[in-house]
Amino acid sequence: MNFELNQDHKVLQDSVRDFVNKEIKPLAVKIDEDHAIPDELVAKMSEMGFLGSYFPEEYGGAGLDMLSYAIVVEEVSKACGSSGVLISAHTSLCSNPIYVFGTEEQRNEWLPDLNSGKKIGCFMLTEPNAGSDAGGTTTMYKREGDEFVINGSKTFITNGGYLGTAIVIASFDRSLKHKGISAFIVDLSSPGVTILKNENKMGIRGSYTTAFAFDNLRIPVGNLLGQEGKGFNIAMDTLNGGRIGIASQALGIAEGAFERALAYSKERKQFDQPICEFQGIQFKLADMWTRIETSKLLTYRAAWLKDNKRNYTMDSAMCKLHASETATYVTKEAMQIHGGYGYIADYEVERMYRDAKITEIYEGTNEIQRVVISKLLLS
């Protein structure tokens, strides 16, 4: 076994870190306060290849691998969880299903704009009464000639506010439950698409989280992704891969909070010595770092398995579960190490604490991850 990153991955890591320190870190507080990521920053991340990392160059991607993608999301999230989730949702939840399940014509039509950042992608599965129960999808579609007509609503859509490209999950027969569901590629600038609201959230406030309504949205039949009636399978496969991105985001948030807590513990003095000299603080740092390192091993392993076309379902659930709970734990402890200052926005760990919690919730709550893991164990 070799647990070292190869030279290409190390060069990439250094390059991303340099970019993050120059372009993202100085804006992180403002992104949180303004509830938006500047378009200029999105354009710069696109130029760096962050939005098309592991897709082939023939479709406008950077031609890297899944581990490279995990590293990108991790490093970006150390400074800004909102920017990390933009990359993660765009890549894993929109571009990836088009690449995996799309026809060659669909790949050539949609992926270049997504990989270049001309369009920002999102995944439309969740509804007010259907999230974890994907088979309960109530958004309906029917075919009329050479078009599909979609009616319904979606909520909690990450990146939705960009009105770019979406993977929309809808049903043609609710009585068939998951067997009646199909997936579609949708241009969100189309007539019939209405933004109901952008949510005001506790954390990742720079990331758009949007509710939509579809009123007789018409799309060409060529926008059907995969086979009709196979949308549930596409959604589950998409979420499976997406968990690696969320784990990478959680890992980055945890690392960013740890770095700040470690530095603060060396600077802050009480009783005539730095607080890092107290065993109580040392125990916290040891526990935080141990959880971070185990999360990293799980996340990198899941990415490696996907790269090598091995079954990674359990591994993606485990890395998402462990890394997200690590992010919440580490950011909480980082605030505790900062004492009263940890509750003040100037020290950033309070933002990271707010950003961390969502990683336990989206891409399936951690209770769902435990169900996935236990079912695989029992089978």
The single-letter DSSP state of residue 23 is I
Active site residue ranges: 363
CB-CB neighbours of 276 under 10 Å = 19
Q: How far apart are the first and last CA of the chain?
A: 28
**How buried is 109 (Cβ within 10 angstroms: 0-12 exposed, 13-18 middle, 19+ buried)?**
middle
**How buried is 9 (Cβ within 10 angstroms: 0-12 exposed, 13-18 middle, 19+ buried)?**
middle
Instruction: Tell me the DSSP string of 47-106.
Output: HTTGGGTTS-GGGT-----HHHHHHHHHHHHHH-HHHHHHHHIIIIIIIHHHHHHS-HHH
Give CA–CA dist 379/375, Å, rounded: 6
Instruction: Tell me the DSSP string of 134-191.
Output: GGG---EEEEETTEEEEEEEEEEEETGGG--EEEEEEES-GGGGGGGEEEEEEETTST
